[in-house]
Structure 1
Amino acid sequence: MFGKVKGNRSGNQQSISKKNKKELKAQRKWEQDEERIKGSKFRLLNEYMYTVNSEEAQKHFKNHPEEFKIYHTGYAQQIEKWPESPVGNIIKLLTESEQFQNKKLVVCDLGCGQGEIQEYFQKDKRLSKLITVKSFDLVAIKPYIIETDISNLPMDDCSCDAAIFSLSLMGINYLDYLGEAFRVLKKNGHLIIAEVKSRMNTIDNFVNLVTGMGMKILKRDEHNSHFVLFVFEKIMDVCQFNGPLNQKRVYQILGQKDPNLKDWQSLGQQILQPCVYKKR
């Protein structure tokens, strides 16, 4: 009698175990499918932000703020897979480089995403007395982020000591962002850029583009496999992007003339190409 009861219990346990395994398998499949959908959504949003101007992107995300959060969640997941973080490298630069140490600075983080740089300095009592970070992006994910189109910053001329673009030169009008950074930087202020290597037709051309604004190059760090970190210094009072694009300027930047380049935007798109994913 007791043997039969024991056998029934064993059979029931096996049945429950099989059921649990099926449920776990179904749950894992659902989670994997959900991750694939989120990944696809991130890629679509990423490509969208590279291929429209900032005004259009701002309108879109104002109407769909949840998509901006989806984008930045996917972005953070991607960066976690990289050997080093661009934001981590920029924080290290601001805290350890001689030109920034023990100085009172106003720093503008342009296209700040989740505002990690401002958050870092606000948490450090000593550094927060020296470095004031102002964060700007299309959507304010956190209360301290200033919601704006970074091609039109709510800041006075020559009002900040350093401007940062950490993988944020997105949009077909990214030259407008650079022009705004130039405007708000003080004379001898610093422009810090982290940019994906694969976007640049050549790194030299990108450097020539930025120095052609009225900057000089101070640092060009190519050691990372995914991105290059640049530091430029503002040496002129007027941004040299103003005025028509002529072939002399094209030659100065590209090292050759190209009659197909009729305006600054077309030149910008040739130098920094959008991240476009292959259709599967």
Structure 2
Amino acid sequence: MAKTKNNIRVKNMERGSQKGNRVRKGKALKINGSKLSQKSSKINEKSEVKVQEWMNDCPSIRISKGKKKKAPTASLRERMEGRLQGAQFRLLNEQLYTAEGTRSQKLFKKNPEAFEAYHSGFQHQVQQWEFNPLDKIIANIKKKNCNLVVADFGCGEARLAQSVANKVHSFDLVALNEHVTACDMAHTPLPDASVDIAVFCLSLMGTNLADFILEANRVLKEGGALKIAEVESRFDGENGAKTFIHEMSKFGFKLTSKNLEKTFFYFMDFKKVDAISKRKGLPLLTLKPCMYKKR
């Protein structure tokens, strides 16, 4: 009889241990009632991933042999939080590269915290690079006349504007600080032919790149400079870069210099030689999306 009761107790304990939150193989992780799947290419615009709230609700770790429950250690909490933030960044990054700019703008307008999460994840990636391509662009602009007006497309925290003496118009989907104007980069509030230098530093994202380049053509003065820095892999090698340069000529831009060395980034400088106002007849202008691997 005693043996039967012990067996019942053991089975009850096993059932209880199985009721805790756990991530089953092939299932999506549930956070605050929303599903977050690393393989998904769609974002639920209504969902908000709040790491701290999830960590507060995180189930305690069960210790065998009758020991007391123990809360997760700081290092474990940090690892769990880091993995969650990394998954969220990759999902948002995929959204930016595989959707039109207007769609991404609507997403981040409804949920500015998502943009902040993306920017935080991006900054984490930057820290792992040997150098930041924006530093090279800043150094180049510092050598030019400080009276030249600059437009920074996809500026992030507007570090360019805070690093040079020039007047800089900083644009991005969300204004992270007072230096940034929130807008769709295909439709900025700048007048025609009002800018001397336009910059796209790792910001040619989305499926409508042609619209961004057309906007740069519109706001640039005749003879104005267009500076582009992008991840090498997006061009699929030097042949892909040559194709991109050829297509840019149809948007009214002539290549003035390039750096296609194997340094992870490609740098291209163009000059506006023709005003292009119509989208009809122009090439699609595409680059491969830049997807970050899980670390």
| TM-score category (smaller protein) | 0.7 to 0.9
Q: Which residue is equivalent to 1:4?
A: none
- What is the RMSD computed on CA atoms of the aligned residues? 2.0
Residue type of the alignment partner of 1:198: S
* Correspondent of 1:80 among 100, 118, 127: 127
Structure 2, unpaired ranges of 5+: 1-69
C-alpha displacement at 1:278, in angstroms? 6.8
Unaligned runs of 5+ in 1: 1-21, 122-127, 246-263
For 2:80, the equivalent position in structure 1 comes to 33
8 Å Cα contact 2:214-2:276 kept in structure 1 = no
Check conservation: 1:192, 1:231, Cα contact below 8 A.
yes
Return the letter of the residue paired with 1:44. Answer: L
Amino acid of the residue matched to residue 218 of structure 1? Answer: T
Question: Does residue 1:221 correspond to 2:236, yes or no?
Answer: no
Q: CA–CA distance in 1 between the matches of 2:148 and 2:262?
A: 27
Change beyond 3 A, Cα 1:28–1:278: closer
The answer on whether the counterparts of 2:231 and 2:290 sit within 8 Å (CA) in structure 1 is no
Bigger helix share? 1
In 2, Cα distance between the equivalents of 1:190 and 1:119? 20
- 8 Å CA contact retained: 1:84, 1:224: no
Task: Tell me the residue number matched to 2:157.
Answer: 114
Q: Do structure 1's residue 151 and structure 2's residue 166 form an aligned pair? A: no
TM-score (norm 1): 0.75
How many positions carry a matched residue from both structures? 223
Q: Specify the code of the residue in structure 2 equivalent to 1:72.
A: H
Return the letter of the residue paired with 1:56: R
Give the Cα separation in 1 of the matches to 2:101 and 2:127: 26
1:243 paired with 2:248, answer: no
Does the alignment pair 1:273 with 2:288?
yes
Q: Is the 8 A contact 1:82 1:226 kept in 2?
A: no
User: How many angstroms apart in 1 are the aligned matches of 2:88 and 2:221?
Assistant: 39
CA distance in 2 between counterparts of 1:189 and 1:134 reads 15
**Separation in structure 1 between the aligned mates of residue 146 and residue 179 of structure 2, nearest angstrom:** 23
* TM-aligned CA distance change 1:140 to 1:132, over 3 Å: same
RCO higher in structure (CA 8 A, sep ≥6): 1
Identity, % of aligned pairs? 39
Structure 1 counterpart of 2:215: 180
